[in-house]
Amino acid sequence: MNLNDQVRQFWEAEVCGTSADLIGQFEPYSRAWYEAIEAHRYAAEPFIHAVAQFTRYRGLRVLEIGVGAGSDHLQWARAGADCYGIDLTDAAIETTRQRLALYGFSSQLQRHDAETLPFADGFFDIVYSWGVIHHSQRPEAIIAEIQRVLKAVGMFIGMLYQRPSLVAWELWVRHGLLRGKPLRSLHDILWHHMESIGTKGYTVAELRSMFAAFKACQIDPYLTEQDLRRFPKWLRAYVPRAWGIFLALRVVK
């Protein structure tokens, strides 16, 4: 079983963001369930709207790589985008399909590995992927595919994990230092202990290098609840954003 098969197996078991520990107990696929998923997502990551700017791209063709539970995909549909979506798992595709139908929207959805996108060159105005590419066996292959399917002035909008971050260091303390293995690298810690096996994190410089073939690359770090959960509330406002695990990107082809 290769890495992407293991990643798929992990996320087939539970679509990202749907855990009852996060959202509470609701009937799956009900309106209340979907609304709880959305409420939690945008409370935990309120900056998604500022990064994605969903409402700016009405009528444009948008591909989302890794639709998950469909929260962001629904925002694209509500904003009037021509929506396409892929995911490595059947579970995410079905969850998103039912979610859109519940609200009267539709999208061209299919289960597919993003390392080989099933679309023509220059097909999309926007490619969007929030917290997905770093789970893949070959992130560089996905980035090359994104560049291929974007139009000449297209844009990639997304988020990848930052390796030197509060979350990564907390995992290192728990799984490295406290287990007598202080020499374990942050790369190894994220690979084995951050969600599905093989999760990666990057520095800002590494991401700039990965997107070097694009014309312009804006990268902004963001702190999350997961970064800040060990800090008292009065101290959180003083924690530098640069320590956050999220690196948000807006990249022009």
User: What is the C-alpha separation between 27 and 17, in angstroms, rounded?
Assistant: 15
Residues 6+ apart with CB under 8 A from 157: 51, 52, 53, 126, 127, 128, 249, 250, 251
Q: How do residues 79-133 score in pLDDT, each as one tens digit?
A: 999 999 999 999 999 999 999 999 999 999 999 999 999 999 999 999 999 999 9
Across the chain, what does the average pLDDT equal? 97
Instruction: Using the predicted structure, report yes or no on whether residue 1 has a pLDDT greater than 90.
Output: no
Task: Give mean pLDDT, residues 33-41.
Answer: 97
Q: How do residues 123-170 score in pLDDT, each as one tens digit?
A: 999 999 999 999 999 999 999 999 999 999 999 999 999 999 999 999
Task: Give mean pLDDT, residues 168-181.
Answer: 97
pLDDT score recorded for residue 224: 87
Do residues 246 and 221 touch, judged by C-beta distance below 8 A?
Answer: yes
Work out the percent of the chain whose per-residue pLDDT is above 70: 100
Work out the percent of the chain whose per-residue pLDDT is above 90: 94
User: What is the C-alpha separation between 185 and 74, in angstroms, rounded?
Assistant: 38
pLDDT score recorded for residue 229: 86
- All domains of the chain, ordered by start, with CATH? 3-252 (3.40.50.150)
Instruction: Kindly report the pTM of this predicted structure.
Output: 0.96
CA dihedral 210, 156, 215, 50 (to 10 degrees): -110
Task: Give mean pLDDT, residues 198-227.
Answer: 96
Upper half-sphere CA count for residue 138 (Cβ side, 13 Å) = 10
pLDDT score recorded for residue 142: 99
Q: How do residues 178-211 score in pLDDT, each as one tens digit?
A: 999 999 999 999 999 999 999 999 999 999 999 9
